[in-house]
Amino acid sequence: MSPLLSVDDLARQYPVAMSGGQRRLLHAVDGVSFTLAAGRTLGIVGESGCGKSTAAKLVLGLLPATRGAIAFEGEPVTATRDRAWRALRRRMQMVHQDPLAALDRRLPVGEQVVEPLTIHGLEAGQDARQQKALALFEAVGLRPDLFQRYPHELSGGQRQRVVLARALVLGPSLLVCDEPISALDVSVAAQVINLLQDLQARFGMAYLFISHDLKVVRQIADEVAVMYLGRIVEQGPPEALFHAPTHPYTEALVSAVPTPLRGTRERIILQSDPPNPVERPGGCAFHPRCPRAIARCREETPALRQVADGRLAACHLVPSMAAPVPVAA
Ligand SMILES: Nc1ncnc2c1ncn2[C@@H]1O[C@H](COP(=O)(O)OP(=O)(O)O)[C@@H](O)[C@H]1O
Ligand code: SF4
Ligand SMILES: [Mg+2]
């Protein structure tokens, strides 16, 4: 069966002006490939600026790709806003970090859940649309009396639930969640994650779940891709990846998370901030920060390839590494 979403060699560059009037290309996403099956969750992690949001916008057809191909439900995704694009966009919805920015401050939240149904001509009549929106309100755990409230009258968690109801009312098969909980308090964030899991079990949509919070990704994802400077450097099932990372960058990310994710691992402090993607280091882009770098790393770019346990990694040392030692959680 073909996957719900398949992304092949996706790239996006931005021209940027440098000091002195020079123009250079910034490689925000640079040759990313993955597939996502219906009803499953792919987590994407990596430091700020590594290209996660750009990848999300490309998948949703909100931004044209410089290179590569995206197929969703067997159809090519482009950023040309025609009929086919609108039909596809109904089936793939987005939830991002700031629900207040995503909502219209002048409209009661219930109306904002009804609105997509009206725009897409779904459900005959206002009553049916209202009923459908109320059912989604209930599904995301909002009381019906909040239907007439305005966004500023709700809490951050309630607003993110409204955004979810509005995304789900169209019956999408894919939800792209870009840092959906990073603006929420820890306890509210945990509730929203549980809700996302419940909604997936109930409605069966797939998630592309972007976060810099490894613990959350471990909880929610079936598969995790670790990005560094626009590329996937390691990919695999969360338990394996977080308990026994093979790529030194994943190892450093995991080691920065307090136990239990870190286990007995030493914290690896990465030297310096990620380099500017306009001046991407040659060879392995991670080499200036990598505690394990060897001479070859400066010269040769490691390809992402299959390593143990159905995992992928892009590191010259991985084949020669001893089998990763599991660390108890
Ligand atoms: N419109 C843009 N013009 C120029 N550079 C951009 C633009 N959008 C993003 N970038 C750059 O692309 C890189 C990836 O950004 P982004 O995808 O937002 O990363 P992330 O979501 O992982 O933090 C960053 O270096 C960012 O500065
Ligand atoms: S290829 Fe070299 S620099 Fe890159 S992650 Fe592996 S050891 Fe580090
Ligand atoms: Mg982002």
- Residue written as tokens 């059912």? 135
- Taking the CA of residue 233 as reference, the ligand 2 atom at the shortest distance is 5
User: Which of 294, 305, 307, when mutated, tests ligand 2's pocket best, judged by the most ligand atoms within 8 Å of its CB?
Assistant: 294
Task: Write out pLDDT tens, residues 3-52.
Answer: 999 999 999 999 998 888 889 999 999 999 999 999 999 999 999 999 99
Task: Sketch out the chain's domains with CATH numbers.
Answer: 5-17+24-91+172-324 (3.40.50.300), 98-171 (no CATH)
**Among 118-132, 211-225, 289-303, which is the least confidently predicted range?**
118-132
Q: What is the pLDDT of residue 264?
A: 63
User: Which of 30, 45, 52, 54, when mutated, tests ligand 1's pocket best, judged by the most ligand atoms within 8 Å of its CB?
Assistant: 54
Q: What is the pLDDT of residue 321?
A: 41
Q: Ligand 3 is a single-atom ion; what residues have CB below 5 A from it?
A: 52-53
Distance CA 326, CA 103 (A): 44
Q: Which ligand is nearest to the CA of 249?
A: 2
On whether the CB atoms of residues 245 and 234 are closer than 8 A, the answer is yes
* DSSP conformational letter for 267: P
- Residue written as tokens 């959906």? 180
317 lines ligand 2 (CB under 6 A): yes
Task: Write out pLDDT tens, residues 266-293.
Answer: 777 776 777 888 989 999 999 999 999 9
On whether the CB atoms of residues 275 and 207 are closer than 8 A, the answer is no
